[in-house]
Amino acid sequence: MTRSRRLALVVAATLAVLGLVAVGVGVHGTSAPPAPPAPVAATAEPTTDAPPTASGPVQRPAAGAAPVALDIPAIGVAGPVNSVGLQPDGALEVPAPGPLYDQAAWYRGSPTPGRLGPAVILGHVDSAANGPSVFYRLGDLRPGDRATVTLADRTTRTFAVEAVRSYPKDAFPQLEVYGDTPGPELRLITCGGDFDRAAHSYRDNTVVFARLVT
């Protein structure tokens, strides 16, 4: 089984948590980003549901310098990138409530940006307590927009957006998003779509597909 296929199995088990980022999220008096399909405003208390378990593979260290910052001028994102791994039960971690909640996070079981394969960076869309979060406008990106990742060795990798897609959580195409690629690519992921008040989470995931240009 290839590394990307293993990654697909691990990440798939976590999508219901967020819609990727549903832990502690919910719009409180604000509107979700105008992404297709257009989300609707919702009011909800933060959920206390834990991420689902998964019998995922042992995490393997990625080669190359880790990402430390992300700059997406088209949507006003400029800030640090932290990292997340796997929880003891095999589920994927997500940015937890606290000082790092509104910052992006690279899944360190995926390739480092600029290496062969899809590097995965996650971010919350909003929270009930603080409103819009780092990837609130992710769905506004359009083909040709640029995302630049700064690595720990102070080099940068710039990716061009090729597509922005929305998927129902219960029909998420794991291999399309996380599968092998012919070159270095980037996946930016948050939740989107309508807000499910009963589940305290969004119904969809917004995924940005981008390829390395410099």
Q: How many CB atoms lie within 10 A of CB 131?
A: 13
Within 8 A by CB and 6+ apart from 15, the residues are: 169, 172, 205
Predicted pLDDT at 30: 27
Whether the ω angle into residue 168 lies within 30 degrees of 0, i.e. cis, is: no
Q: How many CB atoms lie within 10 A of CB 156?
A: 15
Query: pLDDT tens for residues 193-210?
Result: 999 988 888 999 999 999
Phi and psi, residue 73, nearest 5° = -55, -35
Predicted pLDDT at 5: 58
Contact between residue 41 and residue 49 where contact means Cβ atoms under 8 Å apart: no
Mean pLDDT of the chain: 78
Predicted pLDDT at 63: 78
**Domains recognised in the chain with CATH numbers:** 3-49+64-212 (2.40.260.10)
Predicted pLDDT at 86: 83
Residue 49 has pLDDT above 50, yes or no: no
Predicted pLDDT at 89: 78
Both structure tokens of 39: 């989300």
Residue 77 has pLDDT above 90, yes or no: yes
3-state secondary structure of 138: helix
Query: pLDDT tens for residues 135-175?
Result: 999 999 999 999 999 999 999 999 999 999 999 988 989 89
Query: pLDDT tens for residues 80-131?
Result: 999 999 878 766 788 999 999 999 999 999 999 999 999 999 999 999 888 9
Predicted pLDDT at 26: 33
Contact between residue 174 and residue 207 where contact means Cβ atoms under 8 Å apart: no
DSSP assigned state of 142: -
Q: Which residue has the higher pLDDT, 5 or 121?
A: 121
Question: Averaged over 76-81, what is the pLDDT?
Answer: 98
Q: What is the DSSP string of 165-191?
A: EEEEGGG--HHHHHS--SSEEEEEEEE
Q: How many CB atoms lie within 10 A of CB 16?
A: 18
Q: 33-38, long-range: CB within 8 Å, 24+ apart, which pairs?
A: 33/125, 33/136, 33/137, 33/138, 33/139, 33/140, 33/192, 34/139, 34/140, 35/138, 35/139, 35/140, 35/164, 35/166, 35/192, 35/206, 36/139, 36/164, 36/166, 37/166, 37/192, 37/193, 37/194, 37/204
Contact between residue 19 and residue 200 where contact means Cβ atoms under 8 Å apart: no
Q: How many CB atoms lie within 10 A of CB 182?
A: 8
Predicted pLDDT at 52: 32
Predicted pLDDT at 2: 61
Cα 194 versus chain centre, distance = 17
DSSP assigned state of 90: S
Predicted pLDDT at 9: 56
Residue 212 has pLDDT above 90, yes or no: yes
Question: Averaged over 40-56, what is the pLDDT?
Answer: 32
Residue 40 has pLDDT above 90, yes or no: no
